[in-house]
Amino acid sequence: MKKGILIYIVLLLLLLPALSYSADQYTFSRKDPILAGALSWYVPGLGQIYSGAFLKGAAFFVIEEALLIGTILTFAELKLDVTGSIDIGLNIKSKESPGRKEQRKGIILGVLFIIIHFVDVIDAVNTTRKYNRSFEKNFYTDVGYSADDKTYTLEFNQRF
């Protein structure tokens, strides 16, 4: 539970500065696709957020966490214990003998979770590559030659 709250806080801290940027403040810099994939491997959607696709990253995070929680809940029993002295406890035990239907549901959710997780990592790499290609379109060099002056020119241009 503490780990989940920590992940939410980290994501919130990462999203707040990104939402406050305006278009004229934002500058292009190349992103590392391997780093984006690694970020998405450890925290779902973080690679997309790193690449600037904030909504896609948030969607991957929500979908993966929902599938993970659904998978865990099909094989576990949760009991909330509340005592008179305002102590709240959560007991998680594995089910003694889950039914055939629950087993099927848990396996399907678990397989979907694994598939979506790999799709998330691959998409993070592809999103970063797409971002870098757009960067290359906005940044270009030009080499020129003037026959009259017999001079070469080298230009670096950045489009915004």
Backbone angles phi, psi at 152, to 5 degrees: -105, 145
| Tally of CA atoms within 13 A in the half-sphere of 122 that contains its CB | 6
- 8-12, 67-71, 94-98, 103-107: the lowest-pLDDT one: 8-12
Burial 82-101 (b: 16+ CB within 10 A, else e): eeeeeeeeeeeeeeeebeee
pLDDT band at 84 (very low <50, low <70, confident <90, very high): low
Report pLDDT digits (tens) over 15-41.
655 555 544 444 557 889 999 999 999
Q: Would strands 151-158 and 139-146 be described as parallel, antiparallel, or unpaired?
A: antiparallel
pTM of the entire predicted model? 0.62
